[in-house]
Amino acid sequence: MGKTMANVVICGAGIAGVSAAYHLAVKQGIPDVVLVDERAPLTLTSEKSTECYRNWWPGPGDAMVRFMNRSIDILEALAQESGNVFRLNRRGYLFATADPARIPDFTRAADEAAMLGAGAVRTHPGDSEYVPAPAEDFEGLPTGSDLILDPDLIRKHFPYLSERTVAVLHARRCGWMSAQQLGMYLLEKARERGVRFLQAGVEGVDVRGGRVNAVRLSDGTTLGTGTFVNAAGPFQKRVGRMMGVDLPVFCELHVKVAFRDPAGVFPRNAPLLIWTDPQTLSWSADERAVFAASEESQSLLGEFPAGVHARPEGAVAGDVFLGLWTYHTDPVEPVFPLRHDPEQPEIVLRGLATMLPGLQSYFGRLPRPVTDGGYYAKTQENRPLVCPLPVTGAYLIGGLSGFGIMAACAAGELLAAYVTGSPLPSYAPTFRLERYEDPEYQKLLENWGASGQL
């Protein structure tokens, strides 16, 4: 096959590559942008997410909050112009605890978020009346957070939570959407402005004199180009190596379980529910005896980490909910199809039942759970890499970890600004590769606190 030309070649048509193409073609007017993917667009990681968003991010510094606020601004503008085709809601994230010793942590997190720009904290009872979040829509609702410490108020608004719950923190500029619909909307708009999609693998990037010169595809085509964008998701490290660049990213497996709920236990109007306490799981005496006897299953009797979370999926009248709990976070090589723990649905359900005791009715008789997921491609401090690479004309939109859906709009915008030489937002330096060469940043990394990962 022969050689054709393109202004920009983007490797990867997940949400990152699609958003980059949209911002280059639609917002910056760049002609002849080519998206290359060996799979159908949006099908590897981007359609497997929990589809949630939040402006609720820890420091150091306020760059993550400003970046996510910008991304949510763009999401809201897209929702408005499209008649909300991707069903953006603002139900919020609800962090819950049964441990009184955790209340000061909730207070600190809410104060920190407010200081970083996520919005003011309101304590209840006290400051004002708590405003519940509607199931649909995102406009005219509070930002910041509501810290509820009164057990009666918790019971009134969240009657489904464990009676042991002593505090909830409701982060408000947060919610979820249909990531697939968002991606398809961006892709359609990009195609209307001339973006071409080629289904092929990127096999090599030719670099001449330190500059991108061409991209070689698995179908034998060579695309002559001076600009190449690595948006390869879990394979971004591999694609980086094609240009001799070793990216500081690794992969973690994250699994999501869709449960059917014929008994209607899971609250259909709930926010994303997150249990912030580590826990041991409740097993029967027989189960305990079986697990104790086998080295492989003994860990089921040990302590599991904080962070099991869930949300209702689909229409308010539906009966599916999603549950997630990543209790192994070792770096792994990305392998497809995924290999995951067959016990995961039962473990996630048991973890969730600590927060939502009504789910105990499904113990040992799960109605056909469906498991999928993918890899978080992440940096050590869980912040993205959206930046030029050391090869002239090469760029990366990566390290999007567990926040690539919510960050895609601001990340695509930032990437397009680099490619076109447009003014950069003030958070741009925070997401560059060069940060790892800065001795001050290296010191920060040594004592990095919360990563913000869910």
Ligand X SMILES: Cc1cc2nc3c(=O)[nH]c(=O)nc-3n(C[C@H](O)[C@H](O)[C@H](O)COP(=O)(O)OP(=O)(O)OC[C@H]3O[C@@H](n4cnc5c(N)ncnc54)[C@H](O)[C@@H]3O)c2cc1C
Under the criterion CB under 6 A, does residue 232 sit at the interface with ligand X?
Answer: yes
Name the one residue in this structure whose structure tokens are 């760059």.
Answer: 63
Of residues 9, 25, 35, 45, which one binds ligand X by CB under 6 A? Answer: 45
Rounded Cα distance between 343 and 369, Å, is: 11
User: CA-CA distance, 327 to 258, in Å (whole number)?
Assistant: 17
**Residue 185 engages ligand X in binding (rule: CB under 6 A):** no
C-beta of 89: minimal distance to ligand X in Å?
13
The least distance separating ligand X from the CB of residue 82, rounded to whole angstroms, comes to 19
DSSP result, 99-162: -GGGHHHHHHHHHHHHHHTS--EEEETTSS---PPPSS--TT---SEEEE--HHHHHHH-TTS-
Pick one of 50, 55, 89, 354: the residue that binds ligand X (CB under 6 A): 50
**Do 33 and 195 touch, CB atoms closer than 8 A?**
yes
**Helices and strands in the chain: count of H runs, count of E runs:** 10, 21
Any residues with CB less than 8 A from the CB of 173 and at least 6 apart, and which?
A: 54, 55, 56, 69, 72, 90, 118, 119, 143, 144
Residue choice 177, 207, 400, 416 for contact with ligand X (CB under 6 A): 400
Is 233 a binding residue for ligand X by CB under 6 A? The answer is yes
**Interface region with ligand X, contact rule CB under 6 A, candidates 24-32, 41-49, 148-156, 356-364:** 41-49
CA dihedral 440, 113, 52, 94 (to 10 degrees): 140
d(Cα 253, Cα 48) in Å, to the nearest integer?
12
Query: Binding of ligand X at residue 452 (CB under 6 A)?
Result: no
From candidates 8, 10, 13, 207, binder to ligand X by CB under 6 A: 13
Instruction: For the CB of residue 11, give the shortest distance to ligand X in the complex, in Å.
Output: 5
Instruction: State which amino acid sits at residue 41.
Output: P
Of positions 36, 133, 355, 356, contacts ligand X by CB under 6 A: 36
Cβ of residue 245: shortest distance to ligand X, in angstroms? 14
Please, what is the minimum distance in Å from the beta carbon of residue 161 to ligand X? 21
**Cα gap 295→293, rounded to integer Å:** 7
One residue of 24, 52, 300, 386 binding ligand X per CB under 6 A: 52
38 binds ligand X (CB under 6 A): yes
CA 340/CA 154 separation, integer angstroms: 36
DSSP β-ladder status, 250-260 and 272-275: unpaired
Q: Does 175 bind ligand X (CB under 6 A)?
A: no
Kindly provide the residue ranges of all beta strands, DSSP E only, lying in 150-275, ordered along the sequence: 167-171, 174-176, 196-199, 202-208, 211-217, 222-224, 228-230, 250-260, 272-275
Among positions 6, 9, 10, 14, the unique one binding ligand X when judged by CB under 6 A: 14
Which one of 3, 5, 39, 429 is in contact with ligand X (CB under 6 A)? 39
387 binds ligand X (CB under 6 A): no
- Cα separation of 44 and 58, whole Å? 28
Binding to ligand X by residue 234, rule CB under 6 A?
A: yes
| DSSP conformational letter for 40 | S
Choices 234-242, 289-297, 422-430, 431-439; region in contact with ligand X by CB under 6 A: 234-242
Q: Which of 22-30, 44-52, 110-118, 146-154 is the region at the interface with ligand X (rule: CB under 6 A)?
A: 44-52
For β-strands 228-230 and 250-260, DSSP reports them as unpaired
Query: Smallest distance from the beta carbon of 35 to ligand X, in angstroms?
Result: 9
Given the complex with ligand X, which of 233 and 312 has the nearer CB atom? 233
| 24 vs 10: CA distance, rounded Å | 11
By CB under 6 A, tell whether 411 contacts ligand X: no
Interface residue with ligand X, options 119, 351, 393, 402 (CB under 6 A) = 402
| Minimum CB distance to ligand X, residue 59 (Å) | 20
- Of the residues 9, 30, 44, 94, which one makes contact with ligand X according to CB under 6 A: 44
Residues 122-161, interacting with ligand X (CB under 6 A):
none
Least distance (Å) from ligand X to the CB of residue 317? 23
Q: In what order do the strands lie in the sheet with 394-398?
A: 196-199, 33-37, 8-11, 228-230, 394-398, 385-388
The CB-of-256 to ligand X minimum distance in angstroms stands at 4
Task: List the x/- string, 275-304, binding to ligand X by CB under 6 A.
Answer: ------------------------------
Contacts to ligand X by CB under 6 A: 11-17, 36-39, 44-46, 48-53, 201-202, 231-235, 239, 254, 256, 373-374, 376, 400-406
